[in-house]
Amino acid sequence: MKKLWGGRFTEGAEAWVEEFGASIFFDQELVLEDLEGSIAHVTMLAKSGILPEEDAAKIKEGLQVLLEKANNNELTFSVENEDVHLNLEKMLIEQIGEVGGKLHTARSRNDQVATDMHLYLRKEVRDIIAKLKGLQEVLVKKAEQHVETIMPGYTHLQRAQPVSFAHHLLAYFWMLQRDVERYEDSLKRINLSPLGAGALAGTTFPIDRSYSASLLGFDGIYENSMDAVSDRDFILEFLSGSSILMMHLSRFCEELILWSSQEFQFIEMSDKYSTGSSIMPQKKNPDMAELIRGKTGRVYGNLFSLLTVMKGLPLAYNKDLQEDKEGMFDTVKTIKTSLLVMAGMIDTMKVNTDKLGQAVKQDFSNATEIADYLAAKGLPFRQAHEVVGRLVLMCIERGIYLLDLPLETYQEVCPLFEADLYDVLDPYAAVKRRNSEGGTGFDQVCQALEKANAVLG
């Protein structure tokens, strides 16, 4: 088959070599963006007097037909035509005749593919932001039901101080909010047009880059043509932001998995998001949460593979850049499904309020309360810490908890203790009293919920 670039060649590559070089297997994902970019380009060519209006009109009509076919999944691509750009150009020429060959005036596949990638990521990042907000809404809804649900808060995975379950959930809300902001910020750089950079040096034709950029809804254009065709920072930023997001989801999943275990029993996942074992009839496994945790690895991998592709590339375009696509497509798909699954899991999980409440009663997570109690009475906190440490040790030796120790024992250890000490030992009171800004006190959590709702708008 004659190549669109075949003029200076006397021999063709063998089929398997051609296949090695082709990207059509995966870059057909960009078909709509490629057509959209071409329509803007030819519109600009006509407006700038580079192509006669009637030629441009024919080309545009042809592109519209292809667009319709693409939307109906009626296009068939071929490996011989290498990539989505050459496939579509060939189809256009077959459809409208030689005039179709004028489309590529003042353009190269290098600025063309970069334009496609910018358009594609803009669409997908906006969709991801919407899905992130969907997950945030589910978190807020769940948190609103559990402001006064008390649970152990952990450090080192050892019980530390009791917290509100809503407070724990809202920690993830704010992590996700940073993810939203990172994606929003990245849109500034995604939404720039490389179109008109040509192969690398610009073009001899009097093109109007700002015009084609505005037709495509870009906020501006790349300043430098060489940078425009060889920059993939915007994809790297997407992959970095996505890696951080997946890390957040993975941490959350790790907690959900722990919480679903027999040892914790803090939550029960809905059957809809669990699976059974082929051998052990009693099993209910949190597979979806495990998979999100697992898929974090591939997103990190995609970031590292593109960073590695980029690190040795001289300016400007190099075919290595074709390797930017699969990891990006894979990440988009992984992120979108993970966000939906995550929202579904949280929405449908059952929170075992009793188990959570019980957990804080049978431990020493109220020890800080008595240290604070003594410190409030004037004992230096360091000494108060020592006193309570001795009391905890006493309890451990007797197999009891701080609430079970009689007042006399407290007073033997430190005369500052009075009967009101039992009030602060109550875990509910411990949470309620942590009313410092951003703390787990119920008033604070209610304010945080208001803020979260305001952020969601």
Active site residues: 156, 277
Q: Would you give the distance in Å from CA 313 to the centre of its chain?
A: 28
Q: With binding defined as CB under 6 A, does residue 203 bind ligand ARG?
A: no
SS3 of 25-94: the string is HHHHHHHHHHHHHHHHHHHHHHHCCCCCHHHHHHHHHHHHHHHHHHHCCCCCCCHHHCCHHHHHHHHHHH
Supply the minimum distance, in Å, between the C-beta of residue 323 and ligand ARG: 8
Task: List the x/- string, 10-29, binding to ligand ARG by CB under 6 A.
Answer: -------------x---x--
Q: With binding defined as CB under 6 A, does residue 67 bind ligand ARG?
A: no
Q: Strand ranges (DSSP E) for 235-335?
A: 267-268
Q: With binding defined as CB under 6 A, does residue 232 bind ligand ARG?
A: no
Of the residues 81, 322, 366, 368, which one makes contact with ligand ARG according to CB under 6 A: 322
Q: With binding defined as CB under 6 A, does residue 77 bind ligand ARG?
A: no
User: 């993810």: which residue's tokens?
Assistant: 179
Q: How far apart are CA 378 and CA 411, in angstroms?
A: 16
Supply the minimum distance, in Å, between the C-beta of residue 298 and ligand ARG: 21
Cβ neighbourhood burial of 312 (10 Å; 0-12, 13-18, 19+):
exposed
Phi, psi of 11 (to 5 degrees): -130, 150
Q: With binding defined as CB under 6 A, does residue 109 bind ligand ARG?
A: yes
Supply the minimum distance, in Å, between the C-beta of residue 324 and ligand ARG: 7
Of the residues 38, 81, 87, 110, which one makes contact with ligand ARG according to CB under 6 A: 110
Are 229 and 111 in contact by the 8 Å Cβ rule? The answer is yes
Q: Residue 362 corresponds to which tokens in the numbers above?
A: 């049978």
Taking CB under 6 A as the binding criterion, the range among 241-249, 318-326, 381-389, 394-402 that sits at the site for ligand ARG is 318-326
Q: With binding defined as CB under 6 A, does residue 83 bind ligand ARG?
A: yes
Task: Considering only the C-alpha atoms of the chain, give the largest distance between any 2 of them, rounded to a whole number of Å.
Answer: 101
Q: Reduced to 3 states, what is the DSSP secondary structure of residue 258? A: helix
| Nearest of 240, 255, 286, 258 to residue 139 by alpha carbon | 255
Q: With binding defined as CB under 6 A, does residue 321 bind ligand ARG?
A: yes
Of the residues 42, 66, 91, 113, which one makes contact with ligand ARG according to CB under 6 A: 113
Q: With binding defined as CB under 6 A, does residue 200 bind ligand ARG?
A: no
Supply the minimum distance, in Å, between the C-beta of residue 321 and ligand ARG: 5
Supply the minimum distance, in Å, between the C-beta of residue 59 and ligand ARG: 20
Q: With binding defined as CB under 6 A, does residue 338 bind ligand ARG?
A: no
Q: Which is nearer to ligand ARG, 165 or 317 (CB)?
A: 317
Binding-site ranges for ligand ARG (CB under 6 A) = 23, 27, 83, 85, 109-110, 113, 317, 319, 321-322
